[in-house]
Each structure stands twice: as C-alpha cells, then as structure tokens.
Amino acid sequence: MIEFVNFYLIPAFTLGAIYALGAVGISMIFGILRFAHFAHGDVMTLGAYGTLTAVWLIPLPPLLLLPFGIALAIVATLAVDRMFYRPLRKLATIYTVISSFGVALIFRSLAQLFWGAQNEVYVPGVQRPLVFFDTIRVSALHIEAILIIIVIALTLHVFLTRSRLGRSMRAVSDEPELAAVSGLDTDRVIRWTWIIGASLAAIAGTLAGLDTDVHPNLGWNLLLPMFAASILGGIGKPMGALAGGMVIGLAEELSAYPWLGDGPLISPSYKTAVAFFIMVALLIFKPQGLFKGRLL
C-alpha cells in the first residue's frame, strides 16, 4: 500500500495537475475563440524555458521565478494572436486551426534556436524526498504542484463567477453574438483569455520541466493528454478541464500499477494510449464531456 501511495498515487496527482493547467487554456480558447489551439503545448515549452533562463541568471528556486516564464508565454501568445489569428477570425475555423499548427512549429524552432535541442534541468542532482511517518516519501515538487492546482482552481472559480471580467468571458463563451450586441468588449475578453491561458500553460510547463527535464518537445508531448482532459471535462468549461486533467493523470499513472499479478497492468510506454482511448471513447459516446461543454 505504501508503495502504491509513494510511486503511483501522489505522482498521478502531480501529472493530473500539469494536465489540468494546460487543459484550462485549451478549453477557454476553444470556448471563446472557437478553435482548437494546437500550439498550446509549445506555449508551455516557452514558459518552461523562460523560467529556466531566469534560473540561470538569478539564484532563486524555480517556482519563485515563474513570473519570467509567464511573461514570456503571455508576450508570445499575444504576438501570434495579433499577427496570425486575428486576421483569420472571420474565416472558417479550419484556417485558424491550421495556423496554430504553424505557430507550434515556429515556437518549437525558436526554442531550439535560442536554447538548443539538448535536455536541461532546473536543479542539478537528485532531490531528497520529504518523509512522513517514516514510510511515506513525497517529493517537495509533488506537494507544491498539488497546492498550486488547488489554489488556481479556487481562484479561477471565484474569478469566473464573481468578477465582471469573468462573467463577461462566460457570456462570450455561451453566446458570442449576443455578448457583442450587448456592448461587451470582446477584444478585451479575447486578450485576457490569452493572458490567463498562457499564464497557466507557463506554470504547467515549469512543473513538467521540474518533474522531468526541459526540452523543445516538452509541451508537444503533453498536448494529446491535455486535449483529452479538456474533452473529458467538457470543452469550453474551465472547471471541467481542471477535473478532466486530474482524471486523465490518475488514469495514466494508475494504469501502470500491477493490479493483476506482479507486472504492470499496462506498460508505462503505453500510458499516453490511455488518454487517447478516453478521448476517443468520449467523442463517440459523450461528445459534450462530463460537464456538458461545446461540441468540437
């Protein structure tokens, strides 16, 4: 039982937190801008590299330097929205979707150009785990990731339900034409959607980099599970995306536990297939997700 908690359950919550943070941005962008943003994983990568650069220059823990990664992700997303996405908004959605693939390649190439293709780490060496009750060993990162997702979930809920901007975002997501006729500043809503999505992506990218390492394909490798999480929660439903991310993270990690016999139920190399299976099954049987979001 202790082995299950130490090596499967707690890492599953950490992975779920990473997926959840990335899935929120995907869900919000689809809900307000009406397109699947396939460059979102690479926004995570830029955020991770922004934090990494700050770590090289300032002798502080990586999580304290998150504002640098967040700033880089926000600038990048606002720039590509202005240059690439805004001119395509009145065209069919497929044009913007294809453009997002191009933006993903641009971000990845820029990461390789400025930081190289090699793997980087925030903190060299092996970090000692925290020990509780002489048996439970937990990485400090795992505790931090779980606390971060709790704080963000509460903050996001209060923002969307209590603030004027949050209510405007919900209105644009539900009825964009009616919101525009009612006099809501849709450009402001779109701008803040990018800012919030990019910020959460940068946090997720930094957490993923701390959990493993930082490389140009970091976010791209996580894109499929994040899309699965957003679909599971209901596309266009940020709180649903948070829940979906946790479910996908738990499903992936716990699928490798030896539930039957001594070997893993599913080989760890096939964990991503679990997310893909969940996503396809939902698209077939419950395309609106658990929280009844929009149809893709």
Predicted confidence (pLDDT) per residue in 33-46, tens digit: 888 999 999 999 99
Which of these, 296, 151, 153, 294, lies nearest to 236 by C-alpha position?
294
Cα separation, 202 vs 225, in Å, equals: 17
Mean pLDDT of 142-153: 88
What are the structure tokens assigned to 1, written together?
Answer: 């039982």
The pLDDT assigned to 288 comes to 75
Decide if pLDDT at 129 tops 80: no
The pLDDT assigned to 289 comes to 76
Say what the pTM is: 0.91
Task: Check if the beta carbon of residue 23 is closer than 8 Å to that of residue 241.
Answer: yes
Using CA atoms in the order 173, 175, 180, 181, what is the torsion angle rounded to 10 degrees? -160
Tell me the pLDDT band of 185, cut-offs 50, 70 and 90.
confident
What are the structure tokens assigned to 36, written together?
Answer: 């699947």
Tell me the pLDDT band of 76, cut-offs 50, 70 and 90.
very high
What are the structure tokens assigned to 78, written together?
Answer: 């606002």
Tell me the pLDDT band of 107, cut-offs 50, 70 and 90.
very high
pLDDT digits 0-9 by tens, 218-241? 999 999 899 989 988 887 788 888
Mean pLDDT of 70-90: 94
Q: What CATH number does the domain located at 2-285 have?
A: 1.10.3470
Decide if pLDDT at 139 tops 90: no
Tell me the pLDDT band of 215, cut-offs 50, 70 and 90.
very high
Contacts with 283 (C-beta within 8 Å, 6 or more apart), sequence order: 231, 296
Decide if pLDDT at 203 tops 70: yes
Cα Rg of the chain, angstroms: 19
Mean pLDDT of 10-30: 90
Which of these, 26, 259, 14, lies nearest to 129 by C-alpha position?
14
Cα separation, 255 vs 276, in Å, equals: 13
